[in-house]
Structure 1
């Protein structure tokens, strides 16, 4: 047994030893028209295992190299990547015929034909095109020409980025194609401190030291079957992966392999008690206290004060910059839509609570801090990065509890973000004598399906050209409102809310021409928002239907001040391919009006992993069709479906009222999580929804 262990260790050392690289070597090799990691034997392989010969493609080898180092006194990180893949059918050829890369500094590709001939391409030969992306860097698209079945493509590239501490870096060991060999290498320069762990059956990291005495962490993996996409899946809970990051010496240090309760508390305490004067926090707090404590001079429900302060801060953080710049820059906002300085917001809310306690002794609030792990990442046992956490406050007044978390532009005060609903959380209770706080682990509440609703009422008219005119009234509640934020015209909100708080200022200029120009820019900004929201609605409709025209849109209520309040709008549009002529009769494909539904494959009836939904929710539709004169509907009984169980439900029914065909549909997901054992119940609801989507009603011509 000892001999075997020594052999394994010796092999591991040699595998690393003959493939040592650093940034300069990779750049030099790629610049000299050679592929990186060329001396790794895994990139000399051309044959694939028999068990995978019926796949679309097989990835022969993947190797990535990440290095943290100092360049001219500034930390940065370097990433090199190489992949060798054999393409076995046209689907894989289509998949690899265009590569999409971000911030590429060097690139090289070779195509090995079945006869052994090799064609090399550099970056410029593949005619790169630049496209916008959702991230910080633009997207580069590279088209690979003349690919055929049984070709092997072998490509590499490297990237260089400024160092950013406290990032979330995940490396998944599965792909849509099987992988024969893969290798991850992380090299740490001086003053960098690694934080890493393996999850869901991924191999452990091995630690070595390179010729420059730097720590090198290596992971080897092989014979990975392809990853199969599942409906309602959480890849963080069931996919082999590695979390790896590092912190620079002057950053707040990440835990080495697991985020403990003490780590979570220390980081929260460090951030929560930082000074926020440079962010105008003092001025914002004073403004809020002057406005609201003058407004509420007598005893009142303290939640009323907290809610109003929440919306006041939301206005200040997002709109105060507008009058200075003439456009919404959202300099306080992160890419996920939350306030960049979320701890400043929490500190402001806490101070409002403590001030209220000092002024109203009869209405004392209990104030606790909340540290929650986002549900996507599992429980605290799976946490490693601080950015996997979300922070908030818990206020208790009499027998009721209310939570406040950092807001987005249109969030409401009484809404727990769905990414932490039902999540593990630490409740931090601070002692009055400032001794060590009491920390207990809790589960956060989960919203109900009737809290998150989309209620749609559609009045339908058949046009002479067989298009369908739809007049729609929609009410959107709860978490669904986030999906419709593009309907809100923010320059108008700036004026409305600013006037409410006595802070809005009309455009001012020294000359009439300057004033007119400012007003013109404001109007142009409003017009731009209006166009964007029309484009947004068209996009949503065109996802499900063939749209003929989009005629009107009217926002009735924005639903931005209480979570139970709905965002309400009505619109008018026309679609086609729902109404068809069959001889002298009309075929109404009513089922299509609920949009495309999931059609399960045979293999998807069995479930290996648990089921994750964003949040409990319900969709409710009412379709009202004016029956054309001289026609009568047939086959209404087939519209009556009823599936209802502890996980979900789908209920529909059709009827005739006042010469109108009325069809009512309700689809409900009752929880945000179900065990895999309950998958058969969910399947019944999925099947019912798909069944309804295929339903038609025949409008028969009366003879």
Structure 2
């Protein structure tokens, strides 16, 4: 009998829940679509934006916080937060239609409390307005599972879109909690498309306050008190789209606001929050038993601090110990997650255990600016400074990071320690520390002089090596690098199982190594064709001489060979050889970017050196060496190339370098000058003249 009752009740609950969802959705849609500000009725774009791909006619972001009381065993006060984000965008060309042909979003969900009233929800609504004024709401039942790794739950197709259509859509969220909201964020005024009018509104109880700062010409909030609520409103009109420029950090250069919502009498102080975070290190319990076991077996008598730190870092970067310490699975080690903040607690406890002087630092990312401008710690990361002479830095391990390598996003920033907010500037690397060196030998194919036979030796270090490492090192190669007796310490049942798993993973990747190496060759071939704008055939003999993942050999280095089919062409009895393309495509500044008012933020200083040795075929002489002699240098960097010939070989030596990771806008012409010299050399040709 009980089973029958349950079978009857469950469908009833599902029906009631569906009805509750429908009522909530209707109310939300009526509020957002039915009571929208006047700008959400707009259908025409300003004349000056008629040729833009799309125009955001209206945007409204509304945050509302209020109190409510729940009656249970006793009355309990809690906070209800609502966030509505509303867009109205007109599509003006096929590219925009393609961009909005589907929209990805988190799966809408509504939960109801005992009274049948929505207590939390996430709702999305989409409608399309045609040029004749007709409207149609998109049925969310057509949603499909989003692509793997997209970060979204569902993807909703928008059918029958056409140029001239308007998409009006919103996302509504509601939640509740016992703690007073306390959060900060940043909002850019510029977007991918121009914005006719955008409004940001915060409505909070009088016990709370919005603290905000406007940067780079962004407008500010206006404050109005209404009964027991305070309303903050920011309005911005006729905002041009974000410029498409090189080397830009929008949160350093673009109009934007930074704000924090919190208790009325608590002005934001990020340094105070940072100190609270750092104080956790003195009390947070962390078990380093498996690390101590490893050190006892392999380095019990070691006293050299540098050696101890290096061995600790390599151990924690090891896939076996990443799983033991952080539960990060060993499969696909090059695509695994980086260790969480627990890593820094391990560093701290390890240093204390082995009496290594150190300081835990919290550093802000260059892209967001110094601590005093931050509204949250979301852009920050920990770094541990080993206080030796010279100092070493320990950063969060990535698959190829070495001890004493710092994320370039933190270079030059003033970090915070529990002891001081001053004197903790993170060092900045030089261009030669992030160098790429390429040696190329090239010769005409003996059987077909329309083809060029090329051999390369490439090495890279510092921040420049990561790109190459992910090109040439496979998961199997990576696991083999850790196939060392010292990492096979089985001092616990846990390690016994994980070492067994490591060996199984290595065997699995070893069985498919031919397949993976073939895929790697294909990847390299496609990369060469893209970067040199050539047709590659017979790519072969890729040999990785160093993975660059140990301090004994910190550079990645590899050799390969291939045939380029379209770098030569006949000119009567003579042959033109486009040797310049062997330095790969160069950064070209478009005409509309040659005048710049925003400062230049590059990831890091770096240098590129090429040596090209071209064998002159018998019966030919060389003309056009002057095309390869260029020199443009300044304090910003430079491009220098020289070409010589001894009658048998043409030797071209090329160096390009960016001296800094930051330049003032006034230095832009200096960069332009040597960037153009590099573009010119990429197009340079050599003439082989029949003797």
TM range (shorter): 0.7 to 0.9
SS at match of 2:554: coil
Q: Which residue of 2 aligns with 1:456?
A: 438
Q: Which residue of 1 aligns with 2:344?
A: 343
Q: Is the 8 A contact 2:385 2:394 kept in 1?
A: yes
The Cα of 1:503 is off from its aligned counterpart by 1.8
The Cα of 1:110 is off from its aligned counterpart by 1.5
The Cα of 1:669 is off from its aligned counterpart by 0.3
Q: Which residue of 2 aligns with 1:644?
A: 633
Q: Is the 8 A contact 2:126 2:169 kept in 1?
A: yes
- Distance in 2 (alpha carbons) for counterparts of 1:445 and 1:254: 38
2:403 maps to 1:413? yes
Give 5+ residue unaligned stretches, structure 2. Answer: 1-20, 71-75, 109-123
Distance 1:254 1:349, change over 3 A: farther
Q: Which residue of 2 aligns with 1:28?
A: 26
Distance 1:128 1:424, change over 3 A: same
SS at match of 2:432: coil
2:51 maps to 1:58? no
Structure 1 segment 20-169 matched on structure 2, within 5 A: 27-28=25-26, 36=33, 38-53=35-50, 55-65=52-62, 80-88=84-92, 90=93, 93=96, 96=99, 98-103=101-106, 105=108, 106-113=124-131, 116-123=132-139, 132=147, 134-137=149-152, 140=155, 142=157, 145=160, 147-148=162-163, 151-158=164-171, 169=185
Distance 1:203 1:618, change over 3 A: same
Q: Deviations over 1:119-138 (max 9, x none)?
A: 5251469x766653654336
- Distance in 2 (alpha carbons) for counterparts of 1:373 and 1:320: 28
Give the counterpart of 1:176 among 192, 203, 223.
192
Distance 1:569 1:69, change over 3 A: farther
Q: Is the 8 A contact 1:68 1:189 kept in 2?
A: yes
Q: Is the 8 A contact 1:254 1:385 kept in 2?
A: no
- Distance in 2 (alpha carbons) for counterparts of 1:516 and 1:424: 43
Q: Which residue of 1 aligns with 2:456?
A: 472
The Cα of 1:650 is off from its aligned counterpart by 0.3
How many pairs does the alignment contain?
Answer: 636
- Distance in 2 (alpha carbons) for counterparts of 1:659 and 1:328: 51
- Distance in 2 (alpha carbons) for counterparts of 1:209 and 1:344: 46
Give 5+ residue unaligned stretches, structure 1. Answer: 1-22, 248-252, 357-365, 429-436
- Distance in 2 (alpha carbons) for counterparts of 1:602 and 1:570: 37
Distance 1:387 1:353, change over 3 A: farther
Q: Which residue of 2 aligns with 1:676?
A: 665
- Distance in 1 (alpha carbons) for counterparts of 2:298 and 2:203: 54
Distance 1:258 1:237, change over 3 A: farther
- Distance in 2 (alpha carbons) for counterparts of 1:662 and 1:159: 64
2:557 maps to 1:537? no
Q: Is the 8 A contact 1:103 1:159 kept in 2?
A: no
Q: Deviations over 1:453-495 (max 9, x none)?
A: 1111122233427343322111010111222342334445445
2:544 maps to 1:555? yes
- Distance in 2 (alpha carbons) for counterparts of 1:612 and 1:578: 35
2:271 maps to 1:261? yes
- Distance in 2 (alpha carbons) for counterparts of 1:622 and 1:93: 44
- Distance in 1 (alpha carbons) for counterparts of 2:496 and 2:393: 43
SS at match of 2:155: strand
SS at match of 1:236: helix
RMSD: 4.4
- Distance in 2 (alpha carbons) for counterparts of 1:665 and 1:537: 23
The Cα of 1:184 is off from its aligned counterpart by 2.7
- Distance in 2 (alpha carbons) for counterparts of 1:531 and 1:195: 56
Q: Is the 8 A contact 1:332 1:339 kept in 2?
A: no
Q: Is the 8 A contact 1:346 1:406 kept in 2?
A: no
- Distance in 1 (alpha carbons) for counterparts of 2:567 and 2:156: 38
The Cα of 1:242 is off from its aligned counterpart by 3.4
Give the counterpart of 1:310 among 299, 313, 316.
313
SS at match of 1:202: coil
Structure 1 segment 434-449 matched on structure 2, within 5 A: 437-449=419-431
Q: Which residue of 2 aligns with 1:221?
A: 236
Report the TM-score, using the length of structure 1 for normalisation.
0.77
SS at match of 1:371: strand
Q: Is the 8 A contact 1:93 1:147 kept in 2?
A: no
Report the TM-score, using the length of structure 2 for normalisation.
0.79
